[in-house]
Structure 1
């Protein structure tokens, strides 16, 4: 099952990092039911499987942190028996999954406070946390105009626009990525999700950096919303994903190379605020 989850995570290109982290954590439950000769061999097996899950998507900080915390909990427990170690593993998985899911919800609640009635915002790609924040703000009676970029090449912004179309008091507008600069002057704020923030760099869906740079040029503040677990002070080397050229064009590339990175790097100096489950951080 864990091998199947590794393969599934490798293909989960349209899911939020929190969904991926929860799925990876849940996959380790398989180890709570097996038989192992010693605690040491159980821990080695746990570490090997956790490493495989982390390698399945090295760009998702939530997944990396969740696996690290689960393994650390079992090792620190220094269990006297395999059964005890398996109980510790089960508890650690429950605790980590609850933390991820609760953090996402709290981040969305805090993010909802960013929106004011009558505000026009621009968002990029698909972030379930940002969507929840918008829905909470609308539920509180706020009317919002939202410009949504398509987020090529996978067009995840179209998914965002469809979700927003079903939210009362929200008027979504789908635009091509290159049109963001044309509409930013009409916006009060840019609001996006995040893959992670490492030191002074935001990593998010490719296209975020030019939007942030353009927003800064026209004086539109930018807010990033996401779990605090995605903010890392060193110790994590972000690895970009280079996707298949077929996502960009189906016909063969003859005489040229198709480059298709999944993420780009945005300096945090271009951000106004980062909103997490822990509160608001200003830049």
Structure 2
């Protein structure tokens, strides 16, 4: 039996948030599939396919909220199904490596286009709120900085794992005026009650999954920010990618371990440590994608038109 330890290491890094963000998780998964497909030797095509399918299932199990990962695995499985039953190990390995590379290239190309399509949502002098860490949201903010706009970003610390610290470091390194706020303050900053100097002009956050109704799954705390923004008429933009659409409608909210909240908590105390929540479509002004800024209600139609190989359940 072939050793799955290299793939397991990536799975462990995803589970521990060492690798974080939907795009980074997907890229790491397909990079390791390419590497393993090229690096190992197998006696037969069936032996390799048994190995790679085990590896794919391990990667799928790493996080329950990553359709960009799941959709790519579906693509690879569809390509595998085209192989002849008698295909050699070399043929099978080449097919999987090529399919994974195609999808990895698609992730990179679409991410670049989506960032460019977000240009213009920030104006000079704006206050912008972002939550958690999203490579897409960070790149969107950086692009506006490169274009010469002057604006301030308020980013949440993002408890309990403090992913906002990575966002803050990325923005500071890019020369962006950045202020970190505790999570509970973020909804207050949507309203004029916070003061005109602190009131946000827009919200830009990423997402782990886009639902077919146009809502999105993102780090817990996103719902409260979106709800407050809705009532204050502050536009919420999602830095997304249609490869993140949950075409199978199977994404569920992950519950994480109690110790992340309080390591030495009193005996008998119970925790509800949700990793994500859902922003309903009515909270969202637009989803920034590789095909432009899309209204939530149009998500299904655009996916069916642009990605016919993504078979909506």
* TM-score where L is the length of structure 2: 0.83
Deviations 1:23-50 (A, max 9, x none): 111222313432133x344334332321
1:191 and 2:204 are equivalent in the alignment: yes
1:257 and 2:274 are equivalent in the alignment: no
1:108 and 2:115 are equivalent in the alignment: yes
SS across alignment from 2:136:
helix
Deviations 1:102-143 (A, max 9, x none): 222222222233222222211111111111111111101111
Using the alignment, how far apart are the partners of 1:20 and 1:183 within structure 2?
31
Q: In the TM superposition, what are the counterparts of 1:196-275 in structure 2 within 5 Å?
A: 196-200=209-213, 201-232=215-246, 234-275=247-288
The counterpart of 2:171, out of the listed 164, 174, 178, is 164
Map of 2:29 onto structure 1: 24
Using the alignment, how far apart are the partners of 2:289 and 2:136 within structure 1?
10
- Is this contact kept in 1: 2:209–2:245, CA < 8 A? yes
Map of 2:70 onto structure 1: 64
1:93 and 2:100 are equivalent in the alignment: yes
Using the alignment, how far apart are the partners of 1:126 and 1:163 within structure 2?
10
TM-aligned CA deviation for residue 10 of structure 1: 2.3
TM-aligned CA deviation for residue 77 of structure 1: 4.0
Using the alignment, how far apart are the partners of 1:58 and 1:256 within structure 2?
26
SS across alignment from 2:164:
helix
TM-aligned CA deviation for residue 155 of structure 1: 1.5
**CA distance change for structure 1 residues 55 and 173 in 2, over 3 Å: closer, same or farther?**
same
User: Which has more strand, going by share of residues?
Assistant: 1
Map of 2:162 onto structure 1: 155
Q: How many pairs were matched up? A: 280
SS across alignment from 2:118:
helix
Using the alignment, how far apart are the partners of 2:204 and 2:156 within structure 1?
12
Using the alignment, how far apart are the partners of 1:66 and 1:14 within structure 2?
18
SS across alignment from 2:153:
strand
The counterpart of 2:9, out of the listed 4, 12, 15, is 4
TM-aligned CA deviation for residue 14 of structure 1: 5.6
| Residue ranges of structure 2 left out of the alignment (5+ in a row) | 1-5, 192-198, 297-313
SS across alignment from 1:76:
coil
SS across alignment from 2:82:
helix
Alignment RMSD (CA, Å): 1.9
1:131 and 2:145 are equivalent in the alignment: no
Map of 2:52 onto structure 1: 46
SS across alignment from 2:49:
helix
- Is this contact kept in 2: 1:111–1:130, CA < 8 A? no
- Is this contact kept in 2: 1:212–1:270, CA < 8 A? yes
| Residue ranges of structure 1 left out of the alignment (5+ in a row) | none
Map of 1:15 onto structure 2: 20
1:175 and 2:188 are equivalent in the alignment: no
- Is this contact kept in 1: 2:37–2:97, CA < 8 A? no
- Is this contact kept in 1: 2:132–2:157, CA < 8 A? yes
